[in-house]
Chains A and B, each alone.
Chain A
Amino acid sequence: MIYLDNGATSFPKPPEVIGAVKRALEQGANPGRGGYGAAMEAARVVFDCRETAGKLFHCKPEQVVLTSNCTHGLNIAIGSLVKPGARVLISGFEHNAVTRPLYARQADIRIAGKRLFSWEELLDAFRRELKNGVDAAVFTHVSNVFGYILPVEEMARLCRQAGVPFIVDAAQSAGSLNVDLTGWGADFIAMPGHKGLLGPQGTGLLLCGNPGTPLLYGGTGSQSRAREMPQDLPERLEAGTMNVPGAAGLGAGLRLIQRQGIRSIFDREHRQAAACAQQLKDLGLRVFSGPHQAATVSFQAQEDCETLAEYLGKQNIAVRAGLHCAPLAHESAGTIEKGTVRVSFGHTASDDQRKALITAVERRRRSGGRL
């Protein structure tokens, strides 16, 4: 299979990740509970994952909370910062993982920046809304639909300057762009463990610059007589038995990224995405590309996006069509009615993958597809 759906999850997982998951299942018991060898081994695996993440994302190991996915982390973060009815500033390219928790709190949502790839328009609107007064800001680093890289460093700076707490959704950037909890001064940064970080599905990280409010209450293996959750991170936000095999696999993925280097990963993936966008344009498709773009490209054909994606699937090419759980991003880009076909390159990005996609699209045209 030619896998071009890394925006959904990275696939296949590297052998190191699979090996680490297997070892954890064979050797690890429940971390932070017992004092015997297998419990301590599980605790070591979890701590290794936190420590490596802390080095990659510029924070201390205890600021790294293990979650079950990015959505889980965003729910903790939003629950910690956003009171019911609060005024919250977001970008025009947010995923449902951001908007739905805000709708659930009946937040007064203000949207800044709806024009694709335009930092100027976004930052102007962002400054204006901050000046009008907001209680918190939540914004994505990279659009999961269009690969649009938002100017998060500047947005973070503006929030700090205005004294507005903020959350960054690093779902599509962690592992391929610099993410810096301390440097940005974020209250929270949420990310999945299974996309750019190459870990197993069902893993995620929440980097905490703020003690946060627990989403789940229960056992933490410490301070058991206290009726409240512990004050200290990470245990405060990690009630219940942890996903140790997941943490082991994620730790292995993080170490792999450390070895390869974030910059070189970005360059490799971006090179394929940029070339792919150009070739799709040359075939006459409507391609959404521009400056500040990561390794994801969306495009539209005359025919239904799901029909084209189904055809590509039958050619053994995995892409994702539709709205990508991000209706706001599609509304902003004017693609809400038709949706798009999304191609997202990942750690296995290669010329062969790109050429296979282009060949399949050309074949579609020859066989009567309306491109």
Chain B
Amino acid sequence: MNQYLITFRSVTYAQRGERSLTRRGISCDVMRTPKWMEEQGCGYGLRLRTANIYKSLDALRQDGILWRKVYAYSRDGKAEELTL
């Protein structure tokens, strides 16, 4: 299981994402995104632990929920943007 952060343009989209994933049994939390990830300043994301991030992204896509970026966390806590 790896930890990921999916960022969104607003809290509303992050909340829609949370409902979409939770409905499919994928546990996640809405959180403020680290400042350095947001070029425009202030944003929200979904933090989740999963073995298959693509399954979660497919779920969001199916529900028409647009995300901005996806970051993967390494064991030492560093986040790196995933190129999808």
Residue positions of A touching B, CB distance < 8 A: 31-32, 34-35, 40, 43-44, 47, 50-51, 60-62, 220-226, 230, 232, 234-235
Residue positions of B touching A, CB distance < 8 A: 9-13, 15-16, 19, 30-32, 38-44, 64
Chain A residues with CB under 8 Å of B16's CB are: 47, 60-62
Identify the closest chain B residue to A39 (Cβ). Answer: B32
Whether the Cβ atoms of B30 and A222 lie closer than 8 Å is no
How distant is B70 from chain A, measured CB to nearest CB, in Å? 18
Chain B residues with CB under 8 Å of A51's CB are: 19
Whether the Cβ atoms of A62 and B12 lie closer than 8 Å is yes
Instruction: Given A35-B31, A47-B16, A50-B12, output 8 extra A-B contacts at Cβ < 8 Å.
Output: A61-B16, A62-B10, A221-B42, A222-B11, A223-B41, A225-B41, A232-B10, A235-B11
Whether the Cβ atoms of B11 and A61 lie closer than 8 Å is no
Whether the Cβ atoms of A222 and B44 lie closer than 8 Å is yes
Q: Which one, B10, B19, B64, contacts A222 given CB within 8 A?
A: B10
Give the number of residue pairs across the A-B interface with Cβ within 8 Å.
Answer: 64
A59 to B15, CA, bound (A): 16
Q: A44-B15, A47-B15, A61-B16 are in contact. Are A222 and B9 (CB under 8 A)?
A: yes
Chain B residues with CB under 8 Å of A224's CB are: 40-42
A226 to B42, CA, bound (A): 10
Identify the closest chain B residue to A234 (Cβ). Answer: B12
Whether the Cβ atoms of A43 and B9 lie closer than 8 Å is no
Whether the Cβ atoms of A221 and B9 lie closer than 8 Å is no
Chain B residues with CB under 8 Å of A47's CB are: 11-12, 15-16
A134 to B9, CA, bound (A): 36
